[in-house]
Amino acid sequence: MEARRVVVTGIGTFTPLGNNLNDYWNGLLNGVSGAANITLFDASKFKTRFACEIKGFDPTAFMDRKEARKMDRFAQLALAASDQAVADAGISKDNVDIDRVGVIFASGIGGLTTFQEEVINFAQGDGTPRFNPFFIPKMILDIAAGQISMRHGFRGPNYAVVSACASSTNGILSAVDTIRLGRAEVILAGGSEAVISAAGVGGFNAMKAMSERNDDPATASRPYDKDRDGFVMGEASGVLVLEEYEHAIKRGAKIYCEIAGGGATADAYHLTAPHPEGLGARNVMIAALKDAGMQAEDIDYINTHGTSTPLGDGAEVKAITEVFGEHAYNLNISATKSMTGHCLGAAGVIEAIACIQSVIHDIIPPTINHFTDDPELDPRLNFTFNKPQQRVVNAALSNTFGFGGHNACIIVKKYKP
Protein backbone atom coordinates (compact mmCIF):
# COMPACT_ATOMS: atom_id res chain seq x y z
CA MET A 1 0.00 0.00 0.00
CA GLU A 2 1.35 3.41 -0.98
CA ALA A 3 2.16 5.71 1.93
CA ARG A 4 -0.16 8.67 2.48
CA ARG A 5 1.52 11.88 1.33
CA VAL A 6 1.62 14.91 3.62
CA VAL A 7 1.58 18.45 2.24
CA VAL A 8 1.65 21.94 3.75
CA THR A 9 -1.47 23.99 3.04
CA GLY A 10 -1.21 26.83 5.57
CA ILE A 11 1.44 28.83 7.42
CA GLY A 12 1.33 31.28 10.32
CA THR A 13 4.29 32.80 12.12
CA PHE A 14 5.50 35.49 14.50
CA THR A 15 9.25 36.03 14.61
CA PRO A 16 11.80 38.71 15.58
CA LEU A 17 11.88 39.66 11.88
CA GLY A 18 8.15 40.12 11.38
CA ASN A 19 4.68 39.13 12.49
CA ASN A 20 3.58 37.34 9.33
CA LEU A 21 5.07 35.08 6.69
CA ASN A 22 5.94 37.77 4.16
CA ASP A 23 7.68 40.07 6.64
CA TYR A 24 9.62 37.14 8.12
CA TRP A 25 10.77 35.94 4.69
CA ASN A 26 11.71 39.42 3.50
CA GLY A 27 13.68 39.94 6.71
CA LEU A 28 15.63 36.76 6.06
CA LEU A 29 16.41 37.66 2.46
CA ASN A 30 17.48 41.18 3.43
CA GLY A 31 19.81 39.90 6.14
CA VAL A 32 18.02 41.73 8.95
CA SER A 33 19.19 41.10 12.51
CA GLY A 34 16.39 40.78 15.04
CA ALA A 35 18.71 41.41 17.98
CA ALA A 36 18.43 44.53 20.14
CA ASN A 37 18.45 45.54 23.79
CA ILE A 38 15.89 43.70 25.89
CA THR A 39 12.64 45.58 26.54
CA LEU A 40 10.52 42.82 28.10
CA PHE A 41 12.21 43.19 31.51
CA ASP A 42 14.98 45.19 33.16
CA ALA A 43 18.14 43.34 32.09
CA SER A 44 20.59 46.03 33.18
CA LYS A 45 22.28 43.78 35.77
CA PHE A 46 22.50 40.69 33.58
CA LYS A 47 25.57 39.44 31.72
CA THR A 48 23.51 39.44 28.51
CA ARG A 49 21.27 42.46 27.99
CA PHE A 50 19.98 41.83 24.47
CA ALA A 51 17.82 39.32 22.65
CA CYS A 52 15.72 38.81 19.54
CA GLU A 53 12.29 39.91 20.70
CA ILE A 54 9.06 39.88 18.68
CA LYS A 55 8.23 43.51 18.01
CA GLY A 56 4.78 45.09 18.21
CA PHE A 57 2.82 42.01 19.28
CA ASP A 58 -0.55 42.98 20.77
CA PRO A 59 -2.47 39.93 21.99
CA THR A 60 -5.73 41.90 22.11
CA ALA A 61 -5.62 42.04 18.31
CA PHE A 62 -6.33 38.28 18.42
CA MET A 63 -8.32 37.84 21.63
CA ASP A 64 -10.11 39.97 24.19
CA ARG A 65 -8.22 41.38 27.15
CA LYS A 66 -9.80 39.00 29.65
CA GLU A 67 -8.83 35.96 27.57
CA ALA A 68 -5.28 37.28 27.10
CA ARG A 69 -4.80 37.58 30.87
CA LYS A 70 -5.43 33.86 31.19
CA MET A 71 -2.50 32.99 28.91
CA ASP A 72 1.27 33.18 29.11
CA ARG A 73 2.92 35.01 26.22
CA PHE A 74 3.97 31.73 24.58
CA ALA A 75 0.32 30.61 24.35
CA GLN A 76 -0.84 34.03 23.12
CA LEU A 77 1.69 33.79 20.29
CA ALA A 78 0.64 30.21 19.54
CA LEU A 79 -3.01 31.18 19.24
CA ALA A 80 -2.22 34.18 17.03
CA ALA A 81 -0.09 32.06 14.67
CA SER A 82 -2.83 29.43 14.50
CA ASP A 83 -5.32 32.09 13.40
CA GLN A 84 -2.99 33.06 10.55
CA ALA A 85 -2.41 29.45 9.51
CA VAL A 86 -6.08 28.44 9.57
CA ALA A 87 -7.04 31.49 7.52
CA ASP A 88 -4.19 30.84 5.09
CA ALA A 89 -5.26 27.21 4.62
CA GLY A 90 -8.92 28.16 4.16
CA ILE A 91 -10.03 25.57 6.70
CA SER A 92 -13.57 25.82 8.03
CA LYS A 93 -16.17 23.52 9.55
CA ASP A 94 -17.76 23.45 6.10
CA ASN A 95 -14.81 21.81 4.32
CA VAL A 96 -13.19 19.58 6.97
CA ASP A 97 -14.37 17.02 9.50
CA ILE A 98 -13.36 18.67 12.77
CA ASP A 99 -13.10 15.25 14.40
CA ARG A 100 -10.28 14.50 11.94
CA VAL A 101 -8.36 17.74 12.52
CA GLY A 102 -5.76 17.70 15.29
CA VAL A 103 -3.22 19.95 16.97
CA ILE A 104 0.29 18.80 17.90
CA PHE A 105 2.12 21.78 19.31
CA ALA A 106 5.50 22.13 20.95
CA SER A 107 7.43 24.28 23.38
CA GLY A 108 10.80 23.70 24.94
CA ILE A 109 10.05 25.50 28.21
CA GLY A 110 6.48 26.82 28.13
CA GLY A 111 5.18 29.34 30.65
CA LEU A 112 8.43 30.15 32.41
CA THR A 113 7.58 33.84 32.78
CA THR A 114 4.28 33.00 34.46
CA PHE A 115 6.06 30.59 36.81
CA GLN A 116 8.65 33.23 37.67
CA GLU A 117 6.04 35.89 38.42
CA GLU A 118 3.90 33.65 40.62
CA VAL A 119 6.82 32.34 42.68
CA ILE A 120 8.23 35.86 43.16
CA ASN A 121 4.83 37.14 44.28
CA PHE A 122 4.56 34.31 46.81
CA ALA A 123 8.12 34.80 48.08
CA GLN A 124 7.54 38.51 48.59
CA GLY A 125 4.33 37.95 50.51
CA ASP A 126 3.72 36.91 54.13
CA GLY A 127 3.80 33.18 53.35
CA THR A 128 0.08 32.90 52.79
CA PRO A 129 -0.41 30.78 49.64
CA ARG A 130 -2.14 33.24 47.34
CA PHE A 131 -1.74 32.12 43.75
CA ASN A 132 -3.52 33.12 40.58
CA PRO A 133 -6.14 30.45 39.78
CA PHE A 134 -4.80 30.46 36.20
CA PHE A 135 -1.19 29.88 37.34
CA ILE A 136 -1.06 26.21 36.32
CA PRO A 137 -3.18 26.48 33.13
CA LYS A 138 -1.02 29.40 32.00
CA MET A 139 2.25 27.60 32.66
CA ILE A 140 1.86 24.04 31.41
CA LEU A 141 3.30 23.13 28.01
CA ASP A 142 0.22 21.44 26.61
CA ILE A 143 -2.02 24.46 27.07
CA ALA A 144 -1.08 26.00 23.71
CA ALA A 145 -2.33 22.90 21.87
CA GLY A 146 -5.46 22.95 24.03
CA GLN A 147 -6.10 26.65 23.42
CA ILE A 148 -5.71 26.23 19.65
CA SER A 149 -8.16 23.31 19.55
CA MET A 150 -10.71 25.19 21.64
CA ARG A 151 -10.34 28.29 19.52
CA HIS A 152 -11.05 26.49 16.25
CA GLY A 153 -13.14 23.55 17.47
CA PHE A 154 -10.69 20.87 16.27
CA ARG A 155 -11.39 17.55 18.00
CA GLY A 156 -8.69 15.29 16.56
CA PRO A 157 -5.42 14.23 18.27
CA ASN A 158 -4.26 16.96 20.62
CA TYR A 159 -1.06 17.04 22.65
CA ALA A 160 2.27 18.75 23.28
CA VAL A 161 5.78 17.69 22.33
CA VAL A 162 8.88 18.69 24.27
CA SER A 163 12.50 17.91 23.39
CA ALA A 164 14.26 21.19 24.22
CA CYS A 165 15.33 23.03 21.06
CA ALA A 166 14.26 20.12 18.84
CA SER A 167 10.67 20.34 20.13
CA SER A 168 8.79 21.85 17.20
CA THR A 169 10.62 19.72 14.63
CA ASN A 170 9.64 16.64 16.60
CA GLY A 171 6.11 18.02 16.78
CA ILE A 172 5.98 18.32 12.99
CA LEU A 173 7.32 14.77 12.63
CA SER A 174 4.68 13.48 15.05
CA ALA A 175 2.01 15.22 13.01
CA VAL A 176 3.34 13.72 9.76
CA ASP A 177 3.29 10.24 11.29
CA THR A 178 -0.25 10.75 12.61
CA ILE A 179 -1.48 11.64 9.12
CA ARG A 180 0.50 8.85 7.47
CA LEU A 181 -1.10 6.36 9.88
CA GLY A 182 -4.59 7.59 8.99
CA ARG A 183 -5.41 8.92 12.45
CA ALA A 184 -6.17 12.40 11.12
CA GLU A 185 -6.54 14.20 7.81
CA VAL A 186 -5.27 17.59 8.98
CA ILE A 187 -2.90 18.54 11.81
CA LEU A 188 -1.86 21.99 12.98
CA ALA A 189 1.76 21.50 14.00
CA GLY A 190 4.41 23.87 15.25
CA GLY A 191 5.76 25.48 18.36
CA SER A 192 6.03 28.61 20.43
CA GLU A 193 8.59 29.98 22.89
CA ALA A 194 8.67 33.20 24.91
CA VAL A 195 11.15 33.07 27.77
CA ILE A 196 12.98 36.38 27.42
CA SER A 197 12.66 36.94 31.16
CA ALA A 198 14.89 37.16 34.21
CA ALA A 199 14.66 33.41 34.75
CA GLY A 200 15.29 32.54 31.10
CA VAL A 201 18.18 34.91 30.48
CA GLY A 202 19.68 34.37 33.93
CA GLY A 203 19.50 30.62 33.60
CA PHE A 204 21.21 30.45 30.23
CA ASN A 205 23.80 33.03 31.38
CA ALA A 206 24.64 30.78 34.32
CA MET A 207 25.34 27.97 31.84
CA LYS A 208 27.66 30.29 29.86
CA ALA A 209 25.66 29.41 26.74
CA MET A 210 24.75 32.89 25.49
CA SER A 211 26.69 35.64 23.78
CA GLU A 212 27.63 38.58 25.99
CA ARG A 213 28.38 40.95 23.11
CA ASN A 214 26.36 43.78 24.68
CA ASP A 215 28.23 46.49 22.77
CA ASP A 216 27.00 45.15 19.42
CA PRO A 217 23.83 43.06 19.72
CA ALA A 218 23.00 43.12 16.00
CA THR A 219 26.14 41.14 15.11
CA ALA A 220 26.24 38.91 18.20
CA SER A 221 24.70 35.86 16.53
CA ARG A 222 27.47 34.81 14.16
CA PRO A 223 27.36 31.10 13.29
CA TYR A 224 30.59 29.72 11.79
CA ASP A 225 32.52 32.89 12.53
CA LYS A 226 35.84 32.39 14.31
CA ASP A 227 34.83 34.82 17.07
CA ARG A 228 31.38 33.42 17.87
CA ASP A 229 30.78 33.41 21.62
CA GLY A 230 27.37 31.81 22.18
CA PHE A 231 23.78 31.97 21.06
CA VAL A 232 21.38 34.92 21.15
CA MET A 233 18.01 34.15 22.72
CA GLY A 234 14.95 34.68 20.56
CA GLU A 235 11.21 34.18 20.81
CA ALA A 236 8.85 33.02 18.08
CA SER A 237 5.76 31.07 17.17
CA GLY A 238 4.97 29.11 14.03
CA VAL A 239 2.16 26.89 12.81
CA LEU A 240 2.05 24.64 9.74
CA VAL A 241 -1.22 23.20 8.48
CA LEU A 242 -0.24 19.68 7.46
CA GLU A 243 -2.74 17.80 5.35
CA GLU A 244 -3.11 14.45 3.65
CA TYR A 245 -2.55 15.04 -0.05
CA GLU A 246 -5.83 13.59 -1.42
CA HIS A 247 -7.80 15.46 1.24
CA ALA A 248 -6.11 18.72 0.26
CA ILE A 249 -6.80 18.13 -3.45
CA LYS A 250 -10.44 17.27 -2.78
CA ARG A 251 -11.12 20.53 -0.98
CA GLY A 252 -9.14 22.59 -3.50
CA ALA A 253 -6.45 23.72 -1.09
CA LYS A 254 -3.34 25.55 -2.24
CA ILE A 255 -0.25 23.47 -1.57
CA TYR A 256 3.06 25.04 -0.53
CA CYS A 257 5.24 21.93 -0.56
CA GLU A 258 5.43 18.31 0.47
CA ILE A 259 6.95 16.96 3.67
CA ALA A 260 9.25 14.30 2.29
CA GLY A 261 10.31 12.77 5.60
CA GLY A 262 12.27 13.20 8.77
CA GLY A 263 14.15 11.55 11.58
CA ALA A 264 14.93 11.70 15.27
CA THR A 265 17.93 10.42 17.23
CA ALA A 266 19.78 10.87 20.50
CA ASP A 267 23.43 11.69 21.12
CA ALA A 268 23.41 9.67 24.37
CA TYR A 269 26.48 11.68 25.27
CA HIS A 270 26.18 14.80 27.46
CA LEU A 271 23.68 17.00 29.30
CA THR A 272 24.24 20.07 27.14
CA ALA A 273 27.19 19.52 24.77
CA PRO A 274 26.79 17.85 21.37
CA HIS A 275 28.73 14.74 20.51
CA PRO A 276 32.10 16.20 19.37
CA GLU A 277 32.09 14.16 16.16
CA GLY A 278 28.45 14.99 15.44
CA LEU A 279 27.36 11.35 15.82
CA GLY A 280 23.70 12.05 16.62
CA ALA A 281 23.52 14.77 13.98
CA ARG A 282 24.96 12.40 11.39
CA ASN A 283 22.51 9.64 12.31
CA VAL A 284 19.46 11.89 12.23
CA MET A 285 20.22 13.17 8.72
CA ILE A 286 20.74 9.61 7.51
CA ALA A 287 17.43 8.60 9.11
CA ALA A 288 15.62 11.52 7.47
CA LEU A 289 16.99 10.68 4.02
CA LYS A 290 15.96 7.04 4.45
CA ASP A 291 12.45 8.01 5.61
CA ALA A 292 12.07 10.33 2.62
CA GLY A 293 13.37 7.70 0.19
CA MET A 294 16.00 10.16 -0.99
CA GLN A 295 19.72 10.17 -1.64
CA ALA A 296 22.17 12.72 -0.25
CA GLU A 297 22.51 14.17 -3.76
CA ASP A 298 18.79 15.06 -3.78
CA ILE A 299 19.27 17.77 -1.13
CA ASP A 300 20.08 21.28 -2.31
CA TYR A 301 19.97 23.29 0.92
CA ILE A 302 20.51 22.66 4.62
CA ASN A 303 19.19 25.09 7.22
CA THR A 304 21.55 24.10 10.00
CA HIS A 305 21.00 24.19 13.74
CA GLY A 306 23.84 26.73 13.63
CA THR A 307 23.44 28.40 17.01
CA SER A 308 26.73 30.34 17.05
CA THR A 309 28.26 28.20 19.79
CA PRO A 310 31.87 27.05 19.32
CA LEU A 311 31.16 23.35 19.94
CA GLY A 312 27.79 22.99 18.26
CA ASP A 313 28.63 24.57 14.91
CA GLY A 314 31.76 22.48 14.45
CA ALA A 315 30.09 19.18 15.34
CA GLU A 316 27.24 19.77 12.90
CA VAL A 317 29.62 20.63 10.06
CA LYS A 318 31.52 17.39 10.67
CA ALA A 319 28.26 15.48 10.46
CA ILE A 320 27.27 17.18 7.21
CA THR A 321 30.57 16.41 5.49
CA GLU A 322 30.36 12.79 6.62
CA VAL A 323 26.76 12.26 5.47
CA PHE A 324 26.97 14.15 2.18
CA GLY A 325 30.56 13.42 1.15
CA GLU A 326 31.59 15.26 -2.02
CA HIS A 327 28.03 16.50 -2.49
CA ALA A 328 28.50 18.62 0.65
CA TYR A 329 30.42 21.07 -1.53
CA ASN A 330 27.47 21.42 -3.92
CA LEU A 331 25.07 22.28 -1.10
CA ASN A 332 24.09 25.67 0.19
CA ILE A 333 24.24 25.80 3.96
CA SER A 334 22.92 28.64 6.07
CA ALA A 335 22.03 29.40 9.67
CA THR A 336 19.00 31.68 9.89
CA LYS A 337 19.58 31.92 13.65
CA SER A 338 22.14 34.55 12.68
CA MET A 339 19.07 36.75 12.13
CA THR A 340 16.31 35.37 14.38
CA GLY A 341 18.48 34.32 17.28
CA HIS A 342 17.81 30.93 18.85
CA CYS A 343 14.07 30.63 19.41
CA LEU A 344 14.52 27.44 21.43
CA GLY A 345 11.44 25.17 21.14
CA ALA A 346 10.07 27.28 18.26
CA ALA A 347 13.33 27.22 16.28
CA GLY A 348 12.43 24.09 14.33
CA VAL A 349 9.15 25.33 12.93
CA ILE A 350 10.35 28.78 11.87
CA GLU A 351 13.40 27.21 10.23
CA ALA A 352 11.16 24.67 8.48
CA ILE A 353 9.17 27.65 7.19
CA ALA A 354 12.40 29.19 5.89
CA CYS A 355 13.12 25.92 4.05
CA ILE A 356 9.60 25.84 2.60
CA GLN A 357 10.01 29.37 1.28
CA SER A 358 13.42 28.49 -0.12
CA VAL A 359 11.94 25.53 -2.00
CA ILE A 360 9.09 27.66 -3.36
CA HIS A 361 11.17 30.67 -4.40
CA ASP A 362 14.50 29.00 -5.30
CA ILE A 363 16.62 31.24 -3.13
CA ILE A 364 18.79 30.59 -0.08
CA PRO A 365 18.60 32.95 2.91
CA PRO A 366 22.05 33.97 4.16
CA THR A 367 24.12 33.42 7.24
CA ILE A 368 24.78 37.01 8.31
CA ASN A 369 27.42 38.42 10.65
CA HIS A 370 30.37 36.63 9.11
CA PHE A 371 33.59 38.54 9.63
CA THR A 372 36.42 36.05 10.17
CA ASP A 373 36.80 32.54 8.75
CA ASP A 374 37.09 29.76 11.30
CA PRO A 375 40.17 27.70 10.34
CA GLU A 376 38.60 24.66 12.00
CA LEU A 377 35.73 24.61 9.45
CA ASP A 378 36.10 23.28 5.91
CA PRO A 379 36.51 26.36 3.65
CA ARG A 380 35.11 24.49 0.65
CA LEU A 381 31.61 24.47 2.16
CA ASN A 382 29.20 27.16 1.01
CA PHE A 383 27.80 28.74 4.17
CA THR A 384 25.93 31.40 2.13
CA PHE A 385 27.65 34.16 4.05
CA ASN A 386 26.06 37.61 4.26
CA LYS A 387 24.01 37.55 1.03
CA PRO A 388 21.17 35.33 -0.26
CA GLN A 389 21.93 33.12 -3.24
CA GLN A 390 19.62 32.19 -6.10
CA ARG A 391 19.56 28.51 -7.10
CA VAL A 392 17.06 25.78 -7.84
CA VAL A 393 15.99 24.21 -4.55
CA ASN A 394 14.12 20.96 -5.10
CA ALA A 395 14.60 19.76 -1.54
CA ALA A 396 15.77 21.33 1.71
CA LEU A 397 16.72 19.80 5.02
CA SER A 398 16.35 21.45 8.43
CA ASN A 399 18.29 20.38 11.51
CA THR A 400 17.39 21.07 15.15
CA PHE A 401 19.24 19.76 18.17
CA GLY A 402 18.45 20.18 21.87
CA PHE A 403 19.97 19.92 25.33
CA GLY A 404 19.82 16.31 26.46
CA GLY A 405 21.12 15.12 23.09
CA HIS A 406 17.80 15.37 21.21
CA ASN A 407 18.20 15.56 17.42
CA ALA A 408 15.43 16.06 14.88
CA CYS A 409 15.54 16.62 11.13
CA ILE A 410 12.88 17.31 8.53
CA ILE A 411 13.05 17.35 4.72
CA VAL A 412 10.69 19.42 2.56
CA LYS A 413 10.50 19.18 -1.22
CA LYS A 414 8.78 20.91 -4.13
CA TYR A 415 5.18 19.93 -4.58
CA LYS A 416 4.56 17.80 -7.66
CA PRO A 417 0.97 16.67 -8.31
Boundary of a domain, candidates 222, 250, 278? 250
pLDDT of residue 417: 84
pLDDT of residue 310: 87
3-state secondary structure 266-278: ECCCCCCCCCCCC
Q: What is the per-residue pLDDT across 20-64, written as a single tens digit (0 to 9) for each?
A: 999 999 999 999 999 999 999 999 999 999 999 999 999 999 999
pLDDT band at residue 243, thresholds of 50, 70 and 90?
A: very high
Catalytic residue from among 152, 342, 370, 406: 342
pLDDT band at residue 1, thresholds of 50, 70 and 90?
A: low
Boundary of a domain, candidates 250, 283, 301? 250
pLDDT of residue 322: 97
Concerning whether 165 is annotated as a catalytic residue, the answer is yes
Report long-range pairs for 244-248 (Cβ below 8 Å, ≥24 apart).
Answer: 244/4, 244/5, 244/6, 244/7, 244/179, 244/185, 244/186, 245/4, 245/5, 245/6, 245/7, 246/4, 246/5, 247/185, 247/186, 248/7, 248/9
Q: Does 99 share its domain with 35?
A: yes
Q: Does residue 24 belong to any structural domain of this protein?
A: yes
DSSP-assigned letters across all residues of 193-235: E---SHHHHHHHHHTT-B---TT-GGG---TTBTT---B-BB-
pLDDT of residue 151: 96
Share above pLDDT 70 across residues of the chain, in percent, rounded to a whole number: 100
Amino acid identity, residue 116? Q
Concerning whether 406 is annotated as a catalytic residue, the answer is no
Q: Does 270 share its domain with 357?
A: yes
82, with CB counted inside 10 A (0-12, 13-18, 19+), is buried
Catalytic residue from among 247, 305, 370, 406: 305
Higher per-residue pLDDT: 257 or 93: 257
Catalytic residue from among 52, 152, 165, 406: 165
Boundary of a domain, candidates 250, 277, 292? 250
Q: Does 304 share its domain with 245?
A: no
pLDDT of residue 391: 98
Q: Give residue 406's domain range.
A: 264-413
pLDDT of residue 271: 87
Q: Does 91 share its domain with 167?
A: yes
For residue 196, pLDDT over 80 is answered with yes
- Compute the average pLDDT of residues 192-203: 98
Q: Does 231 share its domain with 284?
A: no
Share above pLDDT 90 across residues of the chain, in percent, rounded to a whole number: 94
Q: What is the per-residue pLDDT across 295-354, written as a single tens digit (0 to 9) for each?
A: 999 999 999 999 999 889 999 999 999 999 999 999 999 999 999 999 999 999 999 999
For residue 218, pLDDT over 60 is answered with yes
Q: Does 191 share its domain with 271?
A: no
Concerning whether 342 is annotated as a catalytic residue, the answer is yes
pLDDT of residue 374: 96
CA 416 to chain centre: 25
CATH (domain of 172): 3.40.47.10
Q: How far apart are CA 383 and CA 372, in angstroms?
A: 13
CA distance to 15, 149, 273, per residue, from 35 (Å): 11, 32, 24
Domain count, the chain: 2
pLDDT of residue 126: 87
Q: Does residue 213 belong to any structural domain of this protein?
A: yes
- Compute the average pLDDT of residues 259-283: 92
For residue 273, pLDDT over 90 is answered with no
- Compute the average pLDDT of residues 127-155: 95
pLDDT of residue 349: 98
Q: Does 334 share its domain with 364?
A: yes
